[in-house]
Amino acid sequence: MSFNRRGGLCALMAACLAMGGVALGTQPSRAAEPIRIGFGMALTGPLAPNGKSALLAMKIWENDINAKGGLLGRPVKLVYYDDKSNPSEVPAIYTKLLDVDHVDVIVGGYATNMLAPAMPVVIQHNRLFIGVLGIAVNSEFNYPKYFAMIPSGPDPKPAFTKGFFDVAMAQDPKPTTIAIVGADAEFSRNAADGARTNAKAAGLKVVYNRTYPPATTDFAPIVRAIQATNPDLVVVCSYPLDSVGMVRAINEVGFKPKMIGGGMVGLQATVFKTQLGPLLNGIVNFDFWLPVKTMNFPGVMDLISKYQALAPAEGVDLLGYYMAPFGYAYLQVLGEAIQATQSLDDDKLADYIHRHSFKTVLGDISFGENGEWTHSRVLQVQFQHIKGNGLDQFKDVSTQIIVSPDQYKTGKVIFPYEKAKE
């Protein structure tokens, strides 16, 4: 064999090996690149107790799914930024995730006020968007690729406080007047709209109907103004720091309507429960999940066990009852859609989510035309018999009685509010 021929064979073999390297080496490396899920989350600011709790549950899902081999044969990686509980931060975060980071898919952060400002960016990019605990976010946009991980159902605004009204109007004698108050912000306006709808349906006379600036810190004047109208019922639609301020002001002023609460975000967080303690007694307020027999859906207690084992070191809500199931479940929905469609295409994913139901740690979930749950499951919970500020009485939920809806009830409402304060 001549030198030139041997050289040609060597070159050919080298070329084949190089091609094999591309096929056998580079391709698996490319296949192993993670599927990146991008989002903003409230990790500082007043929404942080709930935002950080949701994030821990999302990390648990990330670990669980990767332990099973990931999605589409690839690991999953969460890519996130702190929105600082500030709506003005949100558009830039999602623009960066989509235009700079080029994440594969996006999901929403926590809360109505943070989801709404993301929507124009999401719509402009024509992307799938699943938001967690946002009320009626899509009511103005009507965007077909938005989905809501919140149990407020197909008519979310009134559903949020409907149970409050159902409980109140079942009393004898029936209440006749109501006050509605909330912050001048996206969530509170939506919840208050629903409360007015419910009040009209119940034949109640609205004697107070006002908003307050989101930066309000002194709630005693507001409570006194409501007290002056002498309402039977009071619906408060507030965010965490407002809710704490309202509870303190109600107790400071000695205001005792027949029933009060309804739409107060924050009172579900362990940090505020232990902070306020007995000041909460008597308040009837929304919640979405508690560890009771009627809500022991497959997998949820395993999630809570994992969450509570990690929570102290992570510096997050120690119990996780409010946010953890939802932070985990909305990624379950996304993950199942990706695996079922074998795709990351937003149109295919949205179409699949619209047409299928999902088994999650929150039970079976399906989504209607507007992206909301097909069935409402908002709880109304009354705080009862709280003594001191210890954690255990909130961990076993003996002080949190589900009073609506009937299929999830764990006890009876104490009515009027003044009696529940005794």
Q: For the domain that residue 242 is a member of, what is the CATH number?
A: 3.40.50.2300
Place of tokens 């996006």: 106
Q: Are residues 392 and 281 in the same domain?
A: yes
Count of structural domains, the chain: 2
pLDDT band at 422 (very low <50, low <70, confident <90, very high): confident
Whole-angstrom CA distances from 281 to 4, 47, 49, 268, 316 are 94, 23, 22, 14, 24
Q: Are residues 51 and 143 in the same domain?
A: yes
Q: Which of 163, 193, 136 is nearest to 371 (CA)?
A: 136
Do the bridges between strand 284-287 and strand 233-238 make them parallel or antiparallel, or are there none, so unpaired?
Answer: unpaired
266 contacts 240 by C-beta, under 8 angstroms: yes
347 contacts 309 by C-beta, under 8 angstroms: no
Q: Are residues 219 and 102 in the same domain?
A: no
Asked if residue 20 has pLDDT above 80, the reply is no
- Span 44-65, pLDDT tens digits: 999 999 999 999 999 999 999 9
Asked if residue 7 has pLDDT above 80, the reply is no
pLDDT band at 31 (very low <50, low <70, confident <90, very high): low
Q: Are residues 145 and 160 in the same domain?
A: no
Asked if residue 2 has pLDDT above 90, the reply is no
Q: Which residue range(s) make up the domain with 226?
A: 156-287+384-420
pLDDT band at 32 (very low <50, low <70, confident <90, very high): confident
Q: Which of 122, 27, 42, 53 is nearest to 80 (CA)?
A: 42
Q: Are residues 341 and 357 in the same domain?
A: yes
- State how far the Cα of 184 lies from the Cα of 371, in Å rounded to an integer: 25
Determine the pLDDT at residue 241.
95
Mean pLDDT, rounded, for 375-395: 96
Q: Are residues 306 and 411 in the same domain?
A: no
Asked if residue 14 has pLDDT above 90, the reply is no
Q: Are residues 273 and 399 in the same domain?
A: yes
Q: Are residues 336 and 279 in the same domain?
A: no
Q: Are residues 143 and 164 in the same domain?
A: no
Mean pLDDT, rounded, for 207-220: 97
> Crossing angle for the helix pair 324-341 and 300-314, nearest 10 degrees?
120
Q: Are residues 168 and 262 in the same domain?
A: yes
Determine the pLDDT at residue 3.
35
- 65 contact partners, CB below 8 Å, separation of at least 6: 71, 76, 331, 335
305 contacts 320 by C-beta, under 8 angstroms: no
Q: Is 87 inside a domain boundary?
A: yes
361 contacts 320 by C-beta, under 8 angstroms: no
- Span 159-190, pLDDT tens digits: 999 999 999 999 999 999 999 999 999 999 99
Mean pLDDT, rounded, for 342-352: 98
Determine the pLDDT at residue 280.
98
Asked if residue 222 has pLDDT above 90, the reply is yes
Q: Is 271 inside a domain boundary?
A: yes
Q: Which two tokens stand for residue 105?
A: 């898919």
Q: Is 26 inside a domain boundary?
A: no
Q: Are residues 141 and 52 in the same domain?
A: yes
Asked if residue 17 has pLDDT above 70, the reply is no
Q: Is 241 inside a domain boundary?
A: yes
Q: Is 326 inside a domain boundary?
A: yes
Place of tokens 């108050």: 181
Determine the pLDDT at residue 230.
98
Q: Is 7 inside a domain boundary?
A: no
Q: Is 321 inside a domain boundary?
A: yes
322 contacts 379 by C-beta, under 8 angstroms: no
Query: How many residues are there in the chain?
Result: 422
- State how far the Cα of 165 lies from the Cα of 403, in Å rounded to an integer: 11
> Crossing angle for the helix pair 240-253 and 220-228, nearest 10 degrees?
60
Least confident piece of the model among 15-29, 335-349, 380-394: 15-29
pTM of the model as a whole: 0.90
- Our measurement of the distance from residue 110's CA atom to the centroid of its chain's CA atoms, rounded to an integer in Å, reads 6
Determine the pLDDT at residue 19.
41
CB atoms within 10 A of CB 371: 24
Asked if residue 16 has pLDDT above 70, the reply is no
pLDDT band at 1 (very low <50, low <70, confident <90, very high): very low
Q: Which two tokens stand for residue 31?
A: 């296949």
Q: Which of 136, 219, 139 is nearest to 183 (CA)?
A: 219
186 contacts 175 by C-beta, under 8 angstroms: no
**Backbone conformation region of residue 348, classed left if phi is above 0, alpha if psi is from -120 to 50, else beta:** alpha
Mean pLDDT, rounded, for 396-419: 96
Asked if residue 240 has pLDDT above 70, the reply is yes
Q: Is 230 inside a domain boundary?
A: yes
- Span 138-162, pLDDT tens digits: 999 999 999 999 999 999 999 999 9
Q: Are residues 314 and 416 in the same domain?
A: no
The fraction of the chain above a pLDDT of 90, given in percent, is 92
